[in-house]
A and B are shown apart, each in its own frame.
Chain A
């Protein structure tokens, strides 16, 4: 028989401090992503390989300066990979393994459950961007520093918008279906969603992928503020996806 000293489990309930909860939750989310081999392939290896290929090979037509254009597009792809596809798949399997229910049963407030995931995703995106930016600079990218504040804002906006879309997909369907759809959508957006190629079809500009790539190109290549159009498209997708996701996301 296992014995416990009297008073070992004497009740002393209470909620932990909010900053600590947020920090530990965000750190856990980021750490689990960075430890997952498939996530690293999707969020780091593929964007890095495409950045090098697009910069050095002229198979795919791209406006000059070539390295700058490629960098902007690959930044957009990295955000889609991690905030949308990665987040959707992770959420699908997290639900399968009951972690949302587990955390919802703890003292963690519901808003923090979302905030922790968002912060974790932003940390991962920041690391991706730093790695890609260093590679791009080595490849000859000339970054106009005047574009830095816009670039940072667009990266945050893109992460939030694609994160909301990722939660919308990953929060309602079965994990295997999420896995398949998230990867298919990623591929479609890359090829014909205005990321790798500029598609001169009207409605493509209304896709969040094209809007993000276009807006980033303005700040990353020309160092100027993005147009109102792409930003409005991103905000609209984010708001609609977020509003829908709060209704459709299930804990299990």
Chain B
């Protein structure tokens, strides 16, 4: 690899407005080639808008976007990328293999459509017209269409939406195989475990802005005292008593009914204090675990815990 490789995707100062609503508000990101980047954010954060601008489906109002060093949507660029639009796409009456053959005909060195159909578990639905495929099957066909041309860079917009756990697992394995073969993958998701499992780099966006970015481990463990001890016990224990028994700087709360969380620097002494306090209360601390903050905690801290309309 050259010492200064061209980024797979480079976005700077991207702005997109729909009427009075600003969907993307000065977004910057750089994806190194051969890596997996996850755009993580709540619904309406601007993920799909950003990806569709990179794919060439929408025009930016401001800022610059380069994909493999080229302008999005250009005839030169399109053969080099694979796109899985949100919700898929196909002729209502077409069969999976016919659709894949059509997209394969657009590529110089396509993968074998029959093989890909089997890999994606669509072998049992070869005669089913597109409109009668389940949402998950349509998604898998769309993924096949994105991969068939052996692209350098793949955009996957919510690739596992509507999929059952087996299919989701398969997509994760595919993304891993793509990365191993040097393909860059930019995906959007609102699933923390997906971003944590797949991405080299996670970019958390909210209200059209980047609120945090880094590798999953950087995002979850940037402070040594940022740990949690979780346990279950009888609901309604007086947490202020436990708080008083613990060293200063540790916070105790009942996160949901009967599920207690101690946050801060968790050392063996803290664990011992918690269990003996529970013993004094005459309760057994069950399912006691010590963990660093999950990506979900980071995400919820950054984007808020309230439901969005």
Contact = CB atoms under 8 A, between A and B. Distances in A.
A12 interface: yes
Contacts of A99: 89-92, 94
B107 interface: yes
A12 to B, nearest CB: 4
B183 A9 contact: yes
Interface in B139-197: 142, 145-147, 149-152, 169-170, 173-174, 177-178, 180-183
Interface string B78-101: 111101010111111110001001
Chain B, interface residues (CB within 8 Å), range: 35 or more
B90 A16 contact: no
Interface in B184-231: none
Nearest to A14: B108
B102 interface: yes
A94 B149 contact: no
Interface string A82-118: 0000000000011011111111111111000000000
Contacts of A109: 75
A11 interface: yes
Nearest to B94: A32
B167 to A, nearest CB: 11
A209 B110 CA distance: 44
B59 interface: no
Contacts, number: 139
Interface string B4-18: 000000000000000
A35 B91 CA distance: 12
B94 A105 contact: no
A203 interface: no
A251 B57 contact: yes
A36 B93 contact: yes
Given A8-B181, A11-B151, A24-B102, A3 B57 contact: no
A127 to B, nearest CB: 18
A13 B106 contact: no
Contact of A97 (B106, B119, B130): B130
B93 A32 contact: yes
A108 B181 contact: no
A58 interface: no
B279 interface: no
A98 B106 contact: no
Interface of B: 55, 57, 75, 78-81, 83, 85, 87-94, 98, 101-111, 119, 130-131, 142, 145-147, 149-152, 169-170, 173-174, 177-178, 180-183
6 contacts: A6-B180, A7-B181, A9-B183, A11-B182, A12-B150, A251-B57
